[in-house]
Structure 1
Amino acid sequence: MASSREDKAPLTYDEMGKALALLDAEIGASELLMSVAPLRLISVGGALAVRVCHNREASYDIDCMLDPNIAGAADYLVEFETAVSQVAEAGGYTPDWLNQQVEMFVSRERRMGLFLESVQQGITIYEGANLVIYAGRLDWALERKVRRVAHARDRRRTKRVDVTDAAALVRLMRRPGEPPLSFQAIRDLNLNGFEVPPTDEAIREVADYYVQAYGEVGVADMVWDADAGKWKYQGLQDDWVWC
């Protein structure tokens, strides 16, 4: 049975690094896993917030998706899960300190493509001799977070974390001088293949928090001005800003 959140000690940046280094060593001790090393995983959620976006001090676990080629081979998958369990025992972590629940939220048809696209993005959460964990595609991570804001069951706990994570992802995705992300761009995100769009209410909540946290407009409901032939959005002073 998985541990409840109350039973877990959160993993800080350094604690995540320590646990993943132990896993790297366990992989190195496995002849079977070393035949396909370095193992590649992708991760979104708390690990991304802690080790890439730096908007959180800690997370309760590391949500990952293993290379589908490895996950599809039963003997390799069992060996990898054994290594994760050995790290949990050696380091005093909960059994699900690193879990593969991410793949439950991605349609089977999209898993390989999304995995490869995330690897090609080239943002690493951890890189060792035998193990590399890449950040999932940032737009996919954002899609997932905004959808969680829209459909969270625990409105007092989970959603607040997801709002701050989503805003941090928007900040990471935007380059200096670029216009805000549009509501429509976020509505159109469907990288997981499940056709469940986020609500405008959730997008607005992330947009409002972004202004509070970073002092600028990061997500905007764009309006097409036919006379000017340009897009525009409302700035911090409710003035129109042209794109």
Structure 2
Amino acid sequence: MASTSQTEFSAKDFDQALRALDVEIGKSKNMSKIAPIQLLSAGGFVAVTLFHNRLSTQYIDYIMNPDTPNVNKIKEKLQIAIEAVTRQRSLSTDWINSQMEIFAIGPKKQRLFRDSVTQNVVLWRGANLVIYAAKWEWTLARKFKRIGSERRAIDISDAVEILSRMVQENGGPLALETVKSWDTIVYTPLDMAAIKSVADAYMGQWGVAGIKM
């Protein structure tokens, strides 16, 4: 009987897989000499490991620091390390993947990464690898866009958690005009129905406004 690969991961599952990846990175001369390798993540991994509004998710989305020395070579070496862990632990081939790189390119990727490091929300840290949460404004704007097209309850739940963190940091609800200005992040006007659905869900959960509508 063919073995099956793990496709759903809890916070503990991710921790174990990332510990193994940390070891593999340490075996690479190219990566170990510039370690820790810096990644940022958004989506399900943040929900599972930081907000705990999901018990599990299918993969870690990541963007590598574009200022990493010899970044393309390091991306290749990291993929080799990922594939080694995938084989060792019988994981799905995309348990950690860089597909979200398409949403931030060129100077915008550099700015996003620097802002995310400055935000300094560390999702996972080892000797050779550190993963930061992507900047909240960027993450929430992407959530609004997805909610506008898919209306998934789990995305609204994620958005409420992100908004809650931003309200705490802001010292109060966000101005609607501020939220709408994030259309520059997703290159299209944000869906007002999506914003309202998150604002309503936030009000329902916390009893106060998260966005001044």
Q: Give me the TM-score of the superposition, normalised by structure 2.
A: 0.91
Report the structure, 1 or 2, having the larger strand content: 1
After superposing the two structures, state which structure 1 stretch, 115-124 or 73-82, moved more. 73-82
SS at match of 1:23: helix
Aligned pairs for 1:21-100 (under 5 A) are 21-70=19-68, 73-100=71-98
**Cα distance change on mapping 1:129 and 1:190 into 2, 3 Å:** farther
* Residue 198 in structure 1 maps to residue 190 in structure 2: yes
Give aligned-pair identity as a percent. Answer: 31
Aligned structure 1 segments of 4 or more residues deviating by more than 6 angstroms: none
CA–CA separation in structure 2 for the residues paired with 1:179 and 1:37:
38
8 Å Cα contact 1:70/1:77 also seen in 2: no
SS at match of 1:69: coil
Over aligned residue pairs, what C-alpha RMSD do you find? Answer: 1.9
Q: Kindly name which structure, 1 or 2, has the bigger radius of gyration based on alpha carbons.
A: 1
1:136 corresponds to which of 126, 134, 137: 134
8 Å Cα contact 1:53/1:172 also seen in 2: no
CA–CA separation in structure 2 for the residues paired with 1:180 and 1:48:
22
| CA deviation after TM superposition for structure 1 residue 179, in Å | 2.8
**Cα distance change on mapping 1:189 and 1:82 into 2, 3 Å:** same
Structure 2 unaligned segments of length 5 or more: list them.
none
2:161 alignment partner in structure 1: 168
SS at match of 1:58: coil
Report the structure, 1 or 2, having the larger helix content: 2
8 Å Cα contact 1:183/1:200 also seen in 2: no
8 Å Cα contact 2:7/2:95 also seen in 1: no
| CA deviation after TM superposition for structure 1 residue 190, in Å | 4.3
CA–CA separation in structure 2 for the residues paired with 1:66 and 1:131:
11
**Cα distance change on mapping 1:123 and 1:188 into 2, 3 Å:** same
Aligned residues: 209
Q: Give me the TM-score of the superposition, normalised by structure 1.
A: 0.80
**Cα distance change on mapping 1:189 and 1:53 into 2, 3 Å:** same
CA–CA separation in structure 2 for the residues paired with 1:58 and 1:207:
25
SS at match of 1:174: helix
